[in-house]
């Protein structure tokens, strides 16, 4: 059963049958809104980027994984590659996290999405982020990002250490920026 998250909702990432998740994938999917022309519709290309920003308990950035750094320094977080158009079905970009291999200093990962080319979310539809158990392919949680607006980025969700396990919180805060560096002030209140 997939949990459809609302802004601010938190869900435990314990396995349904007991135990802890060890490997998860945060998937990002989107489509460009079709532009209607005189004779036909044309699909625009929108370059959204998924990023994971890793924080320690003091709220200091420890590492980041994005299209210019596809692997965390320790190798526990991997971006599967940059999709510059949103074309195709399913996840357009993914970040795979080996939760058991994350350094103990990492207490929170914040996932953000931004429009590198500067288009705003009025030009994006069917946008979502989802968390998948990579050991069995089961979708655990999904958050709809399609709230159209003039923002160029969203702070999607965070995954935090929760006692001996992990939890995910849907954030859905709008922001403006073309890279995660532009978004750091918008991320800070959610860490």
**pTM for the whole thing?**
0.86
Provide the pLDDT for residue 39.
62
How far is it, in rounded angstroms, from Cα 31 to Cα 44?
9
Half-sphere exposure of 180 (CA within 13 A, CB side): 23
Contact 54, 167 (CB under 8 A): no
Contact 25, 13 (CB under 8 A): no
Query: Per-residue confidence of the chain (191 residues) as pLDDT tens digits?
Result: 556 767 777 877 776 666 678 888 999 888 877 776 666 555 667 778 899 999 999 999 999 999 999 999 999 999 997 665 555 666 788 999 999 899 999 999 999 988 888 888 888 888 888 888 898 888 887 877 766 678 889 898 899 998 778 888 888 888 999 899 999 999 999 99
Q: If DSSP codes are grouped into helix, strand and coil, which group holds residue 11?
A: strand
Contact 87, 93 (CB under 8 A): no
């Amino acid at each position: 059963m997939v949990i459809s998250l609302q802004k601010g909702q938190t869900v435990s990432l314990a396995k349904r049958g007991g135990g802890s998740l060890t490997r998860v994938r945060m998937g990002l999917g989107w489509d460009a809104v079709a532009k209607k022309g005189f004779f036909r519709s044309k699909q625009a290309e929108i370059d959204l980027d998924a990023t994971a920003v890793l924080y320690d308990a003091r709220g200091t950035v420890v590492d980041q994984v994005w299209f210019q750094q596809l692997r965390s320094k320790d190798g526990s977080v991997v971006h599967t590659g940059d999709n510059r158009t949103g074309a195709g079905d399913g996840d357009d970009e993914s970040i795979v996290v080996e939760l058991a291999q994350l350094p103990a200093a990492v207490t929170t990962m914040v996932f953000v999405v931004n429009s590198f080319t500067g288009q705003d979310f009025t030009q994006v539809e069917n946008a979502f982020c989802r968390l998948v158990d990579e050991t069995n392919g089961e979708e655990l949680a999904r958050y709809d990002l399609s709230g159209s607006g003039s923002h160029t980025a969203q702070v999607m969700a965070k995954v935090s250490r929760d006692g001996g396990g992990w939890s995910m919180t849907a954030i859905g805060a709008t922001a403006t920026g073309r890279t995660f560096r532009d978004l750091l002030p918008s991320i800070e209140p959610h860490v």
